[in-house]
Amino acid sequence: MLNFIGCGSAFNTALGNNGAFIKKDHVLFLIDCGSSTFARLQKTNLLEGIEEICILLTHTHCDHIGSLGDLILYGYYSMNKLAEANVCVYAPNDLNIKPLLRMMGVEEHTYKLIEFSELTEYQYADFHIDFEPIKVPHVKELKSYGYIIHYDNKTIYYSGDCNEIPANILNRQNNGGFDLFYQDTCIAEYEGNVHLSLKKLDKLMDAKAREKVYCMHLDNGFNEEDAKKLGFNVVAPII
């Protein structure tokens, strides 16, 4: 359902910064826009034929917003109708995206910003998707969000960066409530880990629920075969 422009953690640069996308007709829907994302979008020609880009943000670490300014300015100066805001940014209210983009030199008229705190929808022509923000624990310095996403008659959970699965989300997954479940998963295991380890995921997730779970945001040394032996899937980037 979701494709991935990259599936690596911040320091696993070989896999690119973790970021999901849907391309349909003339719309590109992205979750996050990390430091490597804009270059990968150009390399894969994913921007060809696109009239509008929608970017849904999870949090403001560089590996999730590092090339957001580049993509916004590309949309304004080089895509569809020139000198118009062709990039739409969706962000929870408390991420404070506007001043951050201003410090990058990105002026407000070059993009559209929708800040929200509850179930919200995006629609362009025949493309429609809605998403509900879920607060997740990651690092104490930043607000971080996962999302319940409804698209194409599917209900999807996308964790963002986190070191826990919220109890209501885990219970829903273990009882068959999601069609697809994308989870930040790392091999690293230590006290104070800001990501969810594969070992912890194994303890939390019922065996019957694992066929719908996809590990993402993979750190260096993550062994895909170990995850698959436990019954999980692993996302792969398109390049």
> Under 8 Å CB-to-CB from 120, ≥6 apart: which residues?
90, 114, 130, 131, 132
**What is the side-by-side strand order in the sheet with 154-158?**
120-124, 127-135, 145-151, 154-158, 180-184, 213-216, 233-234
Distance (Å, rounded) from C-alpha 229 to C-alpha 239? 24
Contact between 21 and 44 under an 8 Å Cβ cutoff? The reply is: no
For the chain, which residues make up each domain, given as ranges?
3-234
Per-residue pLDDT of the chain (239 residues; tens, 9 = 90+): 899 999 999 999 999 999 999 999 999 999 999 999 999 999 999 999 999 999 999 999 999 999 999 999 999 999 998 999 999 999 999 999 999 999 999 999 999 999 999 999 999 999 999 999 999 999 999 999 999 999 999 999 999 999 999 999 999 999 999 999 999 999 999 999 999 999 999 999 999 999 999 999 999 999 999 999 999 999 999 98
Distance (Å, rounded) from C-alpha 237 to C-alpha 64? 15
Q: Is 28 left (phi over 0), alpha (psi -120 to 50) or beta?
A: beta
Counting Cα atoms < 13 Å in the Cβ hemisphere of 130 gives: 8
Closest CA to 198 of 175, 219, 176: 219
pLDDT of residue 239: 85
- Please state the three-class secondary structure of 135-160 as a single string: ECCCCCCCCCEEEEEEECCEEEEECC
pTM above 0.85, yes or no: yes
Residue type, 157: Y
For the record, the structure tokens of 7 come out as 């599936």
Enter the CATH code of domain 3-234.
3.60.15.10
- Please state the three-class secondary structure of 5-70 as a single string: EECECCCCHHHCECEEEEEECCEEEEECCCCCHHHHHHHCCCCCCCCEEEEECCCCCHHHHCCHHH
For the record, the structure tokens of 157 come out as 């959970």
